[in-house]
Structure 1
Amino acid sequence: MTATPVSVTPRLDRGTRVGYSAGSLVNGAFGTVPGLLLLPYLTDTLAVAAGLAGLLVLLPKAWDVVLNPIAGRISDRTTTRWGARRPYLLVGGLGTAVTFAALFAGPFSGGAGAAYVTVAFLATATAFAFFQVPYVAMPAEITAGTADPYGERTRLMTWRIAVLALAILASGAAAPAIRDAAGGGRDGYRVAGLAVAALIAVGALAAFWGTRRAPTGSVHESEPSLRKQLAVARRNRPFALLLGCFVIQAVGIGVMLAGTDYVASGPLDDDGATSLLFVCFVGPALIVTPLWGRVGARIGKRAGYVVGSVLFAAGALLIGVAFLLGEAPLGAVLAATALVGVGYAGQQVFGLAMLPDTIAADEAVTGRRQAGVFTGVWTGGETLGLALGPGLFGLVLQFGGYRSGVDADAQPDSARTAIVLGFSVLPALIMLVALPLLRRYDLTPARLATLTAPTAPPGDRTTSTHGEA
């Protein structure tokens, strides 16, 4: 079950970087559009009760927590002439495109419509899991044959995050506009679903074709059960520490995104500000992601991760200060949100660049390539964190006395305060409280080189990398 190792090359070629990064079109579209359109599609077009509709939107996220590690284990066991991961880019990506189009083509209303969407959304989430997990696992393997794998992973992630930000912006802005231009209603959603499905298919095909010259690395049989997979992940201390930090921070990101529409219609009293806030949150990544790559080369990945997280928290706190001091001008809130976006880009770049390092360290210690195991646990944890964010924001609204079904002008002052605190102070605190987990993360370039050196003594190779986390 072992592929032939490749010879050392200086760097990945540009075509491989672009091709791999194109897969973010799939991630960006699937991660954005259902959150924007699926709930109103269920309630306003298919006449599904709001409570049930909310449950249906959350259900696939819970399914992914279980499915993602399974998808990782399956891809670890796959052997083809295309390598272990690339076949899933094609099959999983195109499967996501087909089921996504079907998701917004529901022929039923009411209870039948709810059942149809449940089946279609679960099918889409399943197909996406078999794309996403192998896709996230690839960097550890395709960079293994480069002269500087540690630095090459950061360069690869800067490309990926830039394309991801572009995909989120494009799909998030275009899908509602396409729906409205097609006349809204069922027909409008069907056209929008087809358009987004086409974008997903393009991303899957580009990623599959663009990585055809990428090294496949070596893949060995992984742990046979989910329980053993989790045990493997826990024993890899750098991975466990990084995962814990990233998942906790995903909760904060989910809280902030969930509060965007409430802030726009409530404290800002401008429904159109939702799109502006969204653009300011995601847009900076298109500009600053290459700069974060340079920052990482100068100060290291862990330090860059901390700086990005602190900038995120600082921007969120500035939003809270602007509101709590009085009537906050839209420009000031947007500027602070842009600072959040700058920090978010850094947090994502370095988190995803550090993940392959933990996988490479595990292989050096154990002699087993189990990228699918780690990325399955990683994506499942991230999905859980992002899903918990809206639930936590809902609790903040409840404690603030938020009144459902009434106009923003009729909300009590306590509810408006809860919206502001939930959108600003709470995500800032969550972002910062996770950082102490990284104090014991020690995979510096020198440490990783020691672990992967063929002559490293066994004791030195196991002292710091594995243990109870």
Structure 2
Amino acid sequence: MTTQLPARVRRGYALGSVATGTFGTVPGLLLLPYLTDTVGVGAALAGVLVFAPKAWDVVLNPIAGRISDRSRHPGGRRRPFLVRAGLTLAVLFAVMFAGPTEPQALGAAWVALAFLGCASAYAFFQVPYVAMPAELTLDYTERTRLMTWRVVVLALAILVSGATAPIVADELGHGAMGVYVGVVIAIGVLGSWWGTRGAPDHPGETATGTLTDQLRLVGANPDFRAVLLTFVLQAAAIGTVLAGVAYVSDHLLDSAAANTLLFVAFVGPALLVTPLWERYAATRGKRSGYVVATGFLIAGMLALLSAHAGWLAVTYVAAALVGIGYAGAQVFPMAMLPDVAADDARRSGANRVGVFTGVWTAGETLGLALGPGILALALTAGGYVSSTGDETVTQPDSARLAIAVGFSLVPAALTVLSLVLLRGYRLDDRLRSADVA
């Protein structure tokens, strides 16, 4: 029997994806080009600067989960973290693009330190936020519905931030863009905090033992391990595609509008098909839906190679296929995560949802951080020529090929590997049987 959450709670929770979608998109889209083409940092070093602060979250996120698990705040176990850490993230994001670009070393250091601060604040927002569905409802189907709302808002956030941030940066400068994106993040933070007030709460008993003990138990869960590794590889693939959008627009499609149009082509279909993915899960299950969505990702990523020939229309269609797959590849795993955490709590009698989500978001953050790093390696191998904001350079053919391969074939290969790993997830069948019974 399905127990539905109030619509206000579903909408309020979903608003948090304005913050997660924006912070997950804009740095991956603009930070690497900002470092290579405005500050003038070499592609390899720029990749390290983008990767390192988010890699720090691999360590910090499980700690943030453990801290939120043990919270006894009168405002709730998770909600107070949303407003405190989320608003800190919004301010630091604006600071990140407000620094000097000369001398080069100072500009690079400013970005690295500010991005490290952003990553740290984001950990204490994202982990409690992702942990909330397992405690908002105990119902298998309702979690999918909750994630459907979240992914719709996530897609809108990606569309708005991904399409408009480059325009603001081009027209008003990176400093104004940083402030603009910071405001968008703050809106999502406050919306999720306010919208989930008075929401149902099923916290359970806090797990005992050290953080190391909890991480060991979480890592030993085969269902969690399978869906996590699948999601991490796909996050790396999506991160690589996002990092390549600006380079593809400038050097392959030779179209300033392509930056925005690629995002519209990517996100528009995702908005339309997300409710259809929810229906698929209701009839066929989450794991089956995840497999089908991953197939769309692979097909779209392979077709993105058409950008190397400058085929605009084909590239936009390919981006739409990626968007269809991306919608499902967000709905299903994010609904599977609270299933895994709740099943563990039911069997063990202890709540480890914060540790589960801490490890999960650490993996997601690592994957998204690897994306720009992977593309930076491809650019370096192809001999990409970095420049400062007032320079115009012509890239060699090898660099153009590296952009195309990094934008298409590399993420496609990662996604194929992820599909192999998903075979280890077996929880879905048991939960669907129990839900029907």
Deviation sequence 1:213-245 (CA, Å, 0-9, x none):
211212433465453333122121111111111
Q: Distance in 1 between matches of 2:170 and 2:231?
A: 36
Counterpart in the other structure of 1:220 = 205
Specify the alignment match of 1:82 in structure 2.
75
Distance apart, 1:200 and its partner CA? 1.7
Deviations 1:110-143 (A, max 9, x none): 3444444433322222111111000000001101
The answer for the alignment partner of 2:385 in structure 1 is: 404
Contact 1:264 1:274 in 2 (8 A): yes
Gaps of 5+ in 2: none
344, 352, 370: which one aligns with 1:370: 352
- Residue 253 to residue 72, structure 1, CA distance change in 2 (3 Å): same
Q: In 1, are the aligned partners of 2:29 and 2:243 still within 8 Å (CA)?
A: no
AA at the equivalent of 1:101:
A
Change (3 A) 1:223 1:105: farther
Q: For 1:50 and 1:328, locate their aligned partners in 2 and report how far apart those are by CA, in whole Å.
A: 23
Counterpart residue number, 1:464: none
Amino acid at match of 1:296: A
Q: Is the 8 A contact 2:50 2:373 kept in 1?
A: no
Residue 433 of structure 1 is matched in structure 2 by 417
Residues in 2 aligned to 1:372 and 1:36: alpha-carbon distance in whole angstroms = 29
Return the index of the structure with the highest Cα Rg: 1
Aligned counterpart for 1:29 among listed residues 10, 22, 35: 22
Mapped partners of 1:94, 1:251: distance in 2: 27
> Does structure 1 conserve the Cα–Cα contact (< 8 Å) formed by 2:35 and 2:46?
yes
Per the alignment, residue 353 of structure 1 pairs with 335
SS at match of 2:194: helix
Alignment of 1:325-340 (within 5 A): 327=309, 329-340=311-322
Q: For the structure 1 residues 318 and 199, does the alpha-carbon distance in structure 2 shift closer, same or farther, using more than 3 Å as the test?
A: closer
Further displaced range: 362-371 or 108-117:
108-117
The one-character-per-residue Cα deviations of 1:410-465 (angstroms, maximum 9, x if unpaired) are 523x54444333322332222122222222322236446659x9xxxxxxxxxxxx
Q: 1-side partners of 2:406 and 2:114: how far apart?
A: 32
1:97 aligns with 2:78: no
CA distance in 2, matches of 1:179, 1:289: 30
Matched residue SS, 2:427: coil
| Alpha-carbon distance change, 323 to 408 in structure 1, aligned in 2, over 3 angstroms | farther
Amino acid at match of 1:166: L
Q: 2-side partners of 1:200 and 1:415: how far apart?
A: 34
More divergent stretch after superposition (353-362 vs 88-97): 88-97
Q: What fraction of aligned residue pairs are identical, expressed as a percent?
A: 53
Q: Evaluate the alpha carbon distance shift between residue 107 and residue 164 of structure 1 in structure 2; reply closer, same or farther with a 3 A threshold.
A: same
Question: Among 104, 120, 128, which residue is 2:122 paired with?
Answer: 128
1:231 aligned to which of 212, 216, 219: 216
Q: Which runs of 5+ in 1 are unaligned?
A: 1-7, 454-469
Task: Say if 1:73 and 1:224, in contact at 8 Å, map to a contact too.
Answer: no
Question: Residues 447 and 203 of structure 1: is their aligned pair in 2 closer, same or farther, counting only changes over 3 Å?
Answer: closer
SS for the counterpart of 1:289 is helix
Which one-letter code corresponds to 1:60 in the other structure? P
Structure with more contact order per residue of length (Cα contacts < 8 Å, sep ≥ 6): 2
Q: What is the RMSD computed on CA atoms of the aligned residues?
A: 2.9
CA distance in 1, matches of 2:14, 2:203: 22
Shift of 1:46: 6.5
Shift of 1:204: 1.3
> In the alignment, is the contact (CA less than 8 A) between 2:297 and 2:322 conserved in 1?
yes
- After superposition, the Cα gap between the structure-2 partners of 1:258 and 1:40, relative to the gap in structure 1 and judged at 3 Å, is closer
Pair 1:86–1:315, CA change in 2 (3 A): same
Aligned residue for 2:182? 197
Please, which of 236, 254, 263 is the counterpart of residue 278 of structure 1? Answer: 263
Q: 1:58 maps to what in 2?
A: 51
The aligned residue for residue 467 of structure 1 is none
Provide, for residues 270-297 of structure 1, a one-character-per-residue CA deviation record: whole Å limited to 9, x for no partner. Answer: 3432322233223322211111111111
CA distance in structure 1 between the partners assigned to 2:291 and 2:25 by the alignment: 26
CA distance in 1, matches of 2:95, 2:366: 25
